[in-house]
Structure 1
Amino acid sequence: MSSLSEDPTSTTTITTTTSDNNPSTDNNTKRRKQPPPETPSHIRRRSFIIASFWAIVLFLGLPIWWKTTTIYRADLPLGEMMDWADGKACSPEFPIRVAIDAPDVQANEAESLVRETQQTLDAMKDFPGHRIRLEIPETPMDRAASLNPNSNTALVIRLKQGDAIATTLHPHLPILEVTYPSDSIVPGTSAASSLSTYLATELRSTFSEEQAIMSYLLATSSIPSERRPQDFSQQITESLSKRMTRSLKYSRTYHLTFSLFTSGPSPNSWEIEEAVRQYMDPVLNMLNSIHNFTIDTQVQLYATPGVQSQVLTKEDLSSFINAAEWPLSPSIGGAPTVNFVVYIGNQTIGVGSESETSQSWLIPQWGSVYLLSPPPTDYVPAELLKQPILTFTSHLLSLLGTPQSGSLPMRLSTLTRIRSADLLLRASSSLGSLARLSLALPSISIPPSVADGVAKSMHHLELACASSTSSNNGLEHARIAEEEAERAFFEKSMVGQLYFPDEHKIAVYLPLLGPVGVPLLMGLLNEIRAWKKRRAEKQKAA
């Protein structure tokens, strides 16, 4: 007989086994417990929370984002800018004033001669923006003022009686002396008509180079072709293009650097200041109305040319200057530098044939180099520097774009008008380019400094156009207009956004807005679906 021990600490486990064949139990297990129905207050609270998030995004976030990321675009007078670029705001006109000095001719005869000569000039139908205007000084003071370098008179025709018609151009003054027989000044005669025709032809020939350059500037500008003068021949076009490529860009101030290079310790000094004072200062003083100049000098005690041969060919000239071993002074004050190098050595330049050589050559937009034979002493005196300085002076005029024909005062007067036309066309072209850039890139920033530069440029363009008869005033206004237009076009804050496409903006915003926008959008969609479901249930219950 067995007995069970009664252990108070023992525990009896009863296991209940459920038959797998009971279908009611299986349905209860698979049935999921549904959450309790939401009260209307909970639904309203959740809707208010979602609406508040979207209200913050729409009424606070988006305005702040729009304000902080909107690109500022100052208002530009695009229509007026395009008018300047197309030559509609101002047709460049540079009339040439020519004074007729005829003290021995009666007033009525002089007036008749001037009238007939002017009619002959107008009948030639040259470029309309470049016309010769004849006038007669009324007083001796007016005659003296016409010879002033700062006057607006480009040329003085001095009539003198002689045996036959002949002309002589003064080498140092803007004076064209014309001799004529006594019977050729009587109005209404064939001799008077021949004299007027002769004067018109001489004037046209005297200013033909200036007219060609003016026409070339207009032909290469942004002005439409129907507003340009007639085309030139291929030879003239190539010659003018080469001349414009060689000359420096206009600047009010240039820095002249005179350098002495020698391949040994001797010579070690030179009288450059005295040489410049004697042989170059007279020309620099005449150029003061157009340019200012600063000068410095240096001596390089050792320099080796890139070519060791005694006779340099044209192919050797490009490697003669070694920029690494010939340190030149940099620009001072931001002004363009014109380099004049005197190299002491035995080299010469072969021009064409073996017997023909030269001592210097011009480097476009850079300066000039002169090869000087070694002096007998340790220094180079001013007398020995005469020819190099005269050569540098001639090269300087070429680098400045000075015409080649006529006396020096006439060439400088022509240079003033050419530079005025060039700067006026450059400023107008820059304004047109800026207007087209603003229209082509709506997303580019236009800071207030650009609008201010455009306003100043257009103001000085108007003054330059109105002052075209006054060479110096027109040149100064054209220079300011070109500087302001260039500064506005190359504004740093604007140029930096030229190559910033919209794909970059998407790449920047997407990683920031994605994590924030997805929860907000999904919450809004879930709430809309729940609202539609409740609405459908209410309609079904009704």
Structure 2
Amino acid sequence: MSKHESKTEAEESNRMWASASFVGVLIIIGLPLWWKTTEVYRVALPYDKISSFDQLPRKVAVDLKILAYDDVTAADLEALIEKAFEDSDIIKPRIQKAVLSDELHHALEYVADELDAVEEINRAYNLTERNCFYLVQRRNLFQHVWLGEERVMFFRDSEASRLVVESLLRWVYQTSVLSGVRSETVDAARSTRLPPAAGYHVVLSVVHPTPDKLEVEFDAKEAVEDYIGTFVDELSYLHNFTLKSQWLYLLDFNFQAKEVKDINEDRGRHFSVRRDRLHLLLTSLEERAATHVAALPTINLALYIVPCHLSPLQIYYDDDKPVQATMQAFMSPKWGGVVFASPSAPDCGHQHPAFHPHTRLVMGTFLAQLRPLLGIPEVDYIPDAFLVPLRSVAARKWEVDSLVRLRTLEQITSAQRTLQSLAQLLGEISNIVITDEVGASINSAVESIQEASHLLAEGDIMNAYDTSKRAYLAAETAFMDPSLLALLYFPDDQKYAIYIPLFLPIMFPVVLSLKNLLLWFRGKPVHKDKIE
């Protein structure tokens, strides 16, 4: 072999080893490194647990104690209640029955007033126990069924059993409202109440369009503290409430009111405004009140002082019939309510007109609006069953229990739907990043949902509410985490569109040299032009 041929073989060998080194670095180091650096980071999630939410307990256990004069009456009422709730998909009553003791029997027969009878029951039993309701027989009733503010319902005899069951379904446990929580369709109560939240801002705005023509004497701060504050104190363990008040001046709204003759008014007329126009007032209030900038949901309560030249103002339905009410007011679902206070003719007839709104009527109207906004719906009328009208600002005890059950179910259902939507979204879009923080929130929400469902099935509604609240907040935190949007602007097709022009020119000589490398390693001759 000549010296020239040896030199040529050496050069060819160097070229081949250089090509092999380049291919090795590119394939063994380059491609894995590129694959790893472009990989979307995803924490493992409990998809199997999320998909099995429907298998969790769905009923709420409630304790129901029957106290009757004899075993037969108690047994008949128990059988009727069990049959009525047999097909219920929400409430599962755990019934205990007993015969009234002679002492309590005589005490109930002796007292004439039902409120005194409730006190007798309270002395013998613990009425402060949540999620526990008492059905007590009491013969000297003017109605077949009597229900007050405490967790006690009186019934006259076994003939009132049907009314007792109906009152439990529609008043005490509100099964139709609870069933609407899990339904895909939105009922009236659900469309009115605000969504669950850790807290709410309650803002009372006194709107005074003509401060230069009418002096208004109304202590908004004191009214909020005395009425709204007392009401929300009973619900403070459910939500954190922040109470505020403000005055808005010179907000003159064009009601397009029409003058209507009215012989019942001192002025001989009133002004009518159509109800379908009042929603435009909310827009003006939103612009001036600026309550929508708060992080927590806001409940708006607006007291609109009607100017003297439009007083008295009366709301009319779409069929041109006036709204018959002591206070003219309207409510906007999930927003709040507005009360119109019209000064009287003597108020506007003075040399220095002054108006003092009736605080009790105004705040009573606001409380009536606040109840359904927070989830306490108005109860229906049941013939021969008497519901004691509210005598205090606070909500009834059994209404609060029902609200706890409602909010617990609502938070569990909302958390479940949020996680299911998020799991579906993560499955459809592969380049969404799932950080450790998001994964921790999702796992915490799943565990809290499972725990809250079992606590409800056991009847522990307070711990169930606290757990469901954690589940709701954790699910919302995971769903709204900004890191989920990190790579949404850089989908896979754009990634390949960027990297292919970068790697394709490099890969061509690599792919072409692979054949020559295989031939060279096998000891077969390789032409120089093929290498180059």
Give, in whole Å, the separation in 1 of the partners of 2:289 and 2:470.
30
Deviation of 1:42 after TM superposition, in Å, equals 0.4
Counterpart residue type for residue 197 of structure 2: S
2:237 corresponding residue in structure 1: 289
1:485 paired to 2:475: yes
1:418 paired to 2:406: yes
Superposed counterparts of 1:81-96, under 5 Å: 81-84=50-53, 87-88=54-55, 90-96=56-62
Counterpart residue type for residue 249 of structure 1: P
CA contact under 8 A between 1:445 and 1:494: conserved in structure 2?
yes
- Provide, for residues 74-105 of structure 1, a one-character-per-residue CA deviation record: whole Å limited to 9, x for no partner: 11111111001xx11x1221123223345xx4
Sort the Cα spacing of 1:143 and 1:45 in 2 relative to 1 into closer, same or farther, 3 A.
Answer: farther
Pick the aligned partner of 1:471 from 446, 451, 461: 461
CA contact under 8 A between 1:157 and 1:176: conserved in structure 2?
yes
TM-score normalized by structure 2?
0.76
Sort the Cα spacing of 1:251 and 1:213 in 2 relative to 1 into closer, same or farther, 3 A.
Answer: same
1:203 corresponding residue in structure 2: 168
Give, in whole Å, the separation in 1 of the partners of 2:46 and 2:460.
28
Give, in whole Å, the separation in 2 of the partners of 1:275 and 1:164.
37
Partner secondary structure for residue 49 of structure 1: helix
Deviation of 1:338 after TM superposition, in Å, equals 0.9
Partner secondary structure for residue 337 of structure 2: strand
1:159 paired to 2:137: yes
1:244 corresponding residue in structure 2: 190
1:275 paired to 2:275: no
2:96 corresponding residue in structure 1: 135
Deviation of 1:395 after TM superposition, in Å, equals 0.8
Deviation of 1:257 after TM superposition, in Å, equals 0.9
Deviation of 1:203 after TM superposition, in Å, equals 3.5
Give, in whole Å, the separation in 1 of the partners of 2:189 and 2:246.
30
Unaligned runs of 5+ in 1: 1-34, 181-191, 221-236, 538-542
Give, in whole Å, the separation in 2 of the partners of 1:158 and 1:533.
103
Give, in whole Å, the separation in 1 of the partners of 2:37 and 2:334.
47
- Provide, for residues 5-56 of structure 1, a one-character-per-residue CA deviation record: whole Å limited to 9, x for no partner: xxxxxxxxxxxxxxxxxxxxxxxxxxxxxx9996110001111111111122
Counterpart residue type for residue 410 of structure 1: W
Give, in whole Å, the separation in 1 of the partners of 2:501 and 2:216.
69
1:447 corresponding residue in structure 2: 435
Counterpart residue type for residue 419 of structure 1: R
Aligned positions, number = 459
Give, in whole Å, the separation in 2 of the partners of 1:165 and 1:260.
43
Give, in whole Å, the separation in 2 of the partners of 1:314 and 1:196.
42
Give, in whole Å, the separation in 2 of the partners of 1:290 and 1:311.
40
CA contact under 8 A between 1:467 and 1:474: conserved in structure 2?
yes
TM-score normalized by structure 1?
0.75
CA contact under 8 A between 1:71 and 1:445: conserved in structure 2?
yes
Deviation of 1:348 after TM superposition, in Å, equals 3.1
CA contact under 8 A between 2:452 and 2:464: conserved in structure 1?
yes
Higher mean alpha-carbon deviation, 415-424 vs 349-358, is at 349-358
Superposed counterparts of 1:3-402, under 5 Å: 39-84=8-53, 87-88=54-55, 90-101=56-67, 105=69, 109-110=70-71, 113-124=73-84, 125-135=86-96, 146-148=126-128, 151-153=130-132, 155-162=133-140, 166-170=144-148, 172-180=149-157, 194=159, 199-200=164-165, 202-204=167-169, 206-207=171-172, 210-220=174-184, 241-266=187-212, 267=215, 270-309=218-257, 310-323=271-284, 326-330=287-291, 334-345=295-306, 346=310, 347-351=313-317, 352-356=319-323, 359-374=328-343, 381=356, 384-402=358-376
CA contact under 8 A between 1:268 and 1:301: conserved in structure 2?
no
Q: Identity, % of aligned pairs?
A: 22
Give, in whole Å, the separation in 2 of the partners of 1:325 and 1:252.
23
Give, in whole Å, the separation in 2 of the partners of 1:428 and 1:325.
33
1:429 paired to 2:417: yes
- Provide, for residues 95-132 of structure 1, a one-character-per-residue CA deviation record: whole Å limited to 9, x for no partner: 23223345xx4xxx35x543432222223333143133
Higher mean alpha-carbon deviation, 525-534 vs 318-327, is at 525-534
Deviation of 1:452 after TM superposition, in Å, equals 0.7
Sort the Cα spacing of 1:50 and 1:319 in 2 relative to 1 into closer, same or farther, 3 A.
Answer: same
Give, in whole Å, the separation in 2 of the partners of 1:79 and 1:475.
24
Give, in whole Å, the separation in 2 of the partners of 1:521 and 1:392.
79
Deviation of 1:463 after TM superposition, in Å, equals 2.3
Q: Which has the larger radius of gyration?
A: 1
Deviation of 1:362 after TM superposition, in Å, equals 0.6
Give, in whole Å, the separation in 1 of the partners of 2:515 and 2:354.
94
CA contact under 8 A between 1:101 and 1:143: conserved in structure 2?
no
CA contact under 8 A between 1:114 and 1:135: conserved in structure 2?
no
Higher mean alpha-carbon deviation, 440-449 vs 477-486, is at 440-449
Unaligned runs of 5+ in 2: 102-119, 258-270, 380-386, 389-395, 528-532
Deviation of 1:256 after TM superposition, in Å, equals 0.8
Deviation of 1:430 after TM superposition, in Å, equals 2.1
Sort the Cα spacing of 1:164 and 1:133 in 2 relative to 1 into closer, same or farther, 3 A.
Answer: farther
1:459 paired to 2:447: yes
Higher mean alpha-carbon deviation, 40-49 vs 285-294, is at 285-294
- Provide, for residues 392-431 of structure 1, a one-character-per-residue CA deviation record: whole Å limited to 9, x for no partner: 1111111112122266332222121111112111212222
1:230 corresponding residue in structure 2: none
Partner secondary structure for residue 138 of structure 2: strand
Give, in whole Å, the separation in 2 of the partners of 1:163 and 1:325.
50
CA contact under 8 A between 1:305 and 1:321: conserved in structure 2?
no
Give, in whole Å, the separation in 1 of the partners of 2:9 and 2:125.
101
Partner secondary structure for residue 466 of structure 1: helix
Give, in whole Å, the separation in 2 of the partners of 1:322 and 1:195.
50
